[in-house]
Structure 1
């Protein structure tokens, strides 16, 4: 998520307060609602790890310059979380970085206990590092914490809009979280989405453009993550075919390659789930289609420059493709993707390759 990132520290065993600190539903919500902060001038911030830290930094500058009063613990939270994130990005692994981690966690726990929505910036930061450095796809504990806190402040899109208008940058933080929710659910295959449809409306076209995912493909990802295909496999097959028909393999720009990877992986998982629930004798046809799509996605990933802004965002596509690889050559492309992600200035997805290798051994491919 950015070419200037550095080595990470070793994770500590500290439990996340976003999952362990209970949120009482009978708190006085009105006392926790912040007054409106001055909205800064619109400035494009990349959708990646560095961009998220820049977002956090901008918000810290905003609350420092704002004349609105905020609880001291919320300002301390952003300050300490920003310090922790910067040290983590630099790869620091000394007493100072460990202390910074513990201080940020303590501050986050305190603000969560007060149910202040600014805690979402802290939860979002820890969620970001969990996505990069934790077990691939298992990103839900911080997301559950964010949803629980968010529920105390808004129960519909209008209330969410009002909250994000009062807190500059919050909409951007939540966009990351709903994206992680859909991608993680697809990777796990458990259909346990944490956020609702009205939460996902916070994802903008700019966000999807930055990560390279076509809007209609994201809609299919949501459809798959919600498990709606179990009710209508014919509809799912039609959606998968639509993705295939929209693939253009003749264009080798980064945008087009990302498009192929997303659309192809969506078609792969769609046909795989259709075949799994089908009683027809056409399973070999499904297998042939899936293998062909795996080839297309592998070709796109192998041609994508590792320096591309899209590269690290293709992890879910690589994972879903890897889970359905059936040849040694396909496995090698996916293996190379995970290795490249580990060779980034800030290594990420530490067990993505391991999960794929385990599947390949089970299938007897390797």
Structure 2
């Protein structure tokens, strides 16, 4: 299969010259997740990249360790498989290992003589560690109640100190990307998570995916064996790439989705969203570990991949409809009269979580069928409505304290785009609000986009009515 989305945004042009040749936007327009040039960021942040000698006398390592010890907490079950927690753990492990090696290998001059990591890498990981932990603690809302959160609430505002930490981390990340440092994948993944959690543009995070794809290309990764070789140099790389590939797939699923209520909702560019990673990338990194983390059956993932491709509607309509039927027949979860799910275990894949993804994948496929002139509109609408009802029934019954709950964002968003009743709106809104009240507040953009769509089709506000699934 030929590579798709080969063109990269200017901000993600991987340079062969010094960073002052980057055609980046000015710092005043920088937002979390947008990688601008190093020099302006370093100047604004009041920080420059130190030499190895300076690094050995700097507080980077001790600062990150101190922050971890002072702010140590046990994260709730909801965030057990959160990527940001995993990145924090990886940075901790890398720094602890390097700190031990540095302490054992110091010369009389006090310079770091470790053979494991460069000074640039240590500084990158150190600043990422400080920023990740400060950000995650700033976004944690363990004591929040339903009355504390409104649908219009914005993500917490960053303090001046947090902005400084972000800019310093961005500056280090840009330098690492410029030199093709493979540890830049840690930073790319971190800012991808921040984009997913904090921005109103839910589903629009191609910048980070382009960056990861470009960095793989810089390292000559053309096969799964190449990725395996690169992963030997970076702890946790395969898991990081799996999440970024999933972000790529889910972004295109969301942007390519159709709504029965308003099919003109998307622009032409959004309708033509293509995957940035190739099929071989997907096959190389999407494994059972990722599927178990997000609670998605393998066949449902196959449907998500098909729905994410811009030309899938034209080439694979019959096959995808048959797949959707097969997945819907696999839905086994029964919801009781009070909204409780029967025979649904936390770690069992044939559970409510797998069924939610099956319904979500079916909606993604059926939404792509909506523009096909050969499909009777009434029949298609009735089928979509039935799937929507079942998805909302399951979503309302899903235990929001589970670690799988935060990974139901794609089915929830698709349910929001296909909502046709006040009950649908109520269930989807409650999902987003529950995610805002999880261990780490997230997905404010998901709710905003759903409400924008409901406003267009006349459902906004109706979702506050009594929910028949409750």
TM-score normalized with structure 1 length:
0.84
Report deviation, 1:335: 1.0
2:162 aligned with 1:97, yes or no?
A: yes
2:217 to 151, 157, 165: 151
Structure having the higher Rg: 2
2:30 aligned with 1:14, yes or no?
A: yes
Select the structure that is richer in helix: 1
- The 5 A counterparts of 1:1-366 are 14-15=30-31, 19-20=35-36, 46-48=80-82, 49-65=84-100, 68-91=115-138, 93-134=158-199, 135-153=201-219, 154-189=221-256, 190-200=272-282, 201-227=284-310, 228-250=312-334, 251-254=343-346, 255=348, 256-280=351-375, 282-366=376-460
Report deviation, 1:59: 3.1
CA distance in structure 2 between the aligned counterparts of 1:330 and 1:139, rounded to whole angstroms: 26
CA distance in structure 1 between the aligned counterparts of 2:207 and 2:171, rounded to whole angstroms: 17
CA distance in structure 1 between the aligned counterparts of 2:29 and 2:325, rounded to whole angstroms: 45
CA distance in structure 1 between the aligned counterparts of 2:331 and 2:95, rounded to whole angstroms: 42
Q: Does the CA contact (< 8 Å) of 1:16 and 1:142 recur in 2?
A: no
Report deviation, 1:52: 2.9
In structure 2, the CA distance between the partners of 1:330 and 1:321, relative to structure 1 (3 Å rule), is: same
Report deviation, 1:16: 6.1
1:35-63 CA deviation, whole Å, 9 max, x = no partner? xxxxxxxxxx9431323322332233344
Report deviation, 1:186: 0.9
The gaps in structure 1 that reach 5 residues or longer are 1-11, 23-44
Aligned alpha-carbon RMSD (Å): 2.2
1:143-182 CA deviation, whole Å, 9 max, x = no partner? 1111111111112222111111232211121111111111
CA distance in structure 2 between the aligned counterparts of 1:59 and 1:179, rounded to whole angstroms: 25
CA distance in structure 1 between the aligned counterparts of 2:159 and 2:254, rounded to whole angstroms: 33
TM-score normalized with structure 2 length:
0.67
Q: Name the stretch that deviates more: 91-100 or 178-187.
A: 91-100
CA distance in structure 1 between the aligned counterparts of 2:37 and 2:402, rounded to whole angstroms: 38
Report deviation, 1:71: 2.2
CA distance in structure 1 between the aligned counterparts of 2:227 and 2:333, rounded to whole angstroms: 40
Q: Does the CA contact (< 8 Å) of 1:298 and 1:334 recur in 2?
A: yes
1:112-168 CA deviation, whole Å, 9 max, x = no partner? 111111111111111111111122101111111111111111122221111112322
